[in-house]
Structure 1
Amino acid sequence: MNFNINKPNNELTEQLQHKIDFKTKPIGSLGILEQLAVKIGCIQNTLTPELKQPTIMVFAADHGIALDGVSPYPQEVTWQMVANFINGGAAINVFGRQNGIDIRIIDAGVNFDFDKSSGVINAKVDYGTKSYLNESAMTAKQFETAIKRGADLCDKMHREGSNIIGFGEMGIGNTSSGAILLHVLAGVDLKECVGRGTGWDDEGLKKKYEILKKAVDNYKGHNTVENILTHFGGFEIVMIVGAMMKAAELKMVIMVDGFIISSALLAASKMNANVLEYCIFTHKSNETGHKHMLKHLNAEPILDLGMRLGEGTGAAVAYPIIESAVNFLNQMASFEDAGVSNSDQITEA
């Protein structure tokens, strides 16, 4: 799929900054909130931006590499956690309810059949990927299908009224894909990319690294983004790439979560760098490679809470801060409105 992603209209930057500077506060005193207000105003091409129907789409899929021992948890945990999402018992459900965010659960490729009445959106490409230790995780056709399904789902959310979207993921073994994507696409040493995932001890971490190093050494394909994603990606990661590209094309605000979501964004940015113009980085994950991911993307996250859960939880927790940026821009009085003397008037006096 080709995505027509144009940069936001930054011609309003000066007007937005002027509006912010004349609020009843010292210049720059709202810090990152001011930067967010300018960014969102430019994305929406207005001096009065608004956030409509915030949505987080949680994509779940299984990874063949998990069967080779890269995670201390069995593959069955993927579908069991999806069941937890359905029942409203996961962290993403809690934070979504708290902050008025619509949570959508998508089966991108879980090795399980969910009941049609469960509320899970069925976008299944296959029952998990193959292990990329010795073969490609997916076929070229499956890659194209995943990109398109992710894009179509994002388009559906937009047509239903959402203009700000975040992404979450669930898939035992998916930090391994994220680590390899960071290594190959950003040139970071593999040892710096591989983290504890769902909770490895030092010995387990060493084993995970050795498996992933062997997988990378065995790869003989071309180093295009599409080929790398096809060989090492997961169905949920590829769907998120498609969804992000579509969100940027539709000029939606994109809330970027932690390590896995950033690995999808890294891949998307290599396909079209303009996607980054629509992104707000919600938090710094405690997963080892995320600091390298953020540095490569030249990103400044809003929060650093030591989180590394995934599911889109960083985006859900950060959303009220993003909302605060829009609210102060629209609702806070200016010096003129409030009849308060500002520093310019004091200087003139």
Structure 2
Amino acid sequence: MQSLGKENQSSVSEFILLGFSSETQVRMALFALFLLLYLTTLVGNGLIVMLIFLDSHLHTPMYLFLSVLSLVDMSYVTTTVPQMLVNMVCPQRTISWGACAAQMFIFLVLGIAECVLYAIMAYDRYVAICFPLHYTLLMSHSICVKTVIVCWSISIAGALINTAFTMHLPYCGPYKINHFFCEVPAVLKLACADTSFNDRLDFILGFLLLLVPLSFILASYVLIFASIFRIRSVQGRLKSFSTCASHVTVVTMFYGPAIIMYMRPGSWYDPERDKKLALFYNVISAFFNPIIYSLRNKDVKEAYLKIFRVRRTA
């Protein structure tokens, strides 16, 4: 395995990322659009992190996980979008073997971390709504820190396995990746070896890292909704539904395309469709997270107005 990896690394020095349309006008329009989305995503998620850090009222488990999610989203888009923007204005559109492997690994780490984080956040909402009197005990600071550590441990392990088995395959050329970054399904199409094992591995990892957290989320929300329907106050029901609706919306936007991408048979590969799916769970979901999940939140709005008033007065 090691000798094969060294042989691959020496024979494959770089890949070519085909990206999107080759027409200059289309590329420039897409460049402006994705640059705007990228900068807006950084500002929106950065604002959430700053507000949670500055306002002591937001130092709760829910907002701790929310700040981690915002940091993950900022890193997630930074792993792919800058490379995509450079390739839109640079005629070469090449990426070295090492940079491709690093991009794949980091992308998988952050993607898996987001999957696990959504499950942790669903559990947090379940405890808050179904066991409000025991919330501080069940979601103590030490438990929150441990769950975040477990989240990153699972993410690194899963990404390491997938990247290692993908990048150790022999690649005979042409080295043109029909994608805007080094994603596993697109890179596997360049391998000049049997990739059936990799397809099975992707399915197994997809089951463990996508379907298991999603099942956990669905189970949590079934119990949450059952608890909400037992609330006598209409206002209390609406408040609980509003809190949960944001999470369900974000989860649907992320998990749907990701499951299609990583759990379908290799024969269903469609590069144009895959690029659109990847945009959805990489760029679009990170762009909408601050809007759907945070900026419409009453506590976050109050924290923003309070900090803004303090800065303006100073």
TM-score by length of 2: 0.29
Q: TM-score of the superposition, structure 1-length normalised?
A: 0.26
Greater fraction of residues in strand: 1
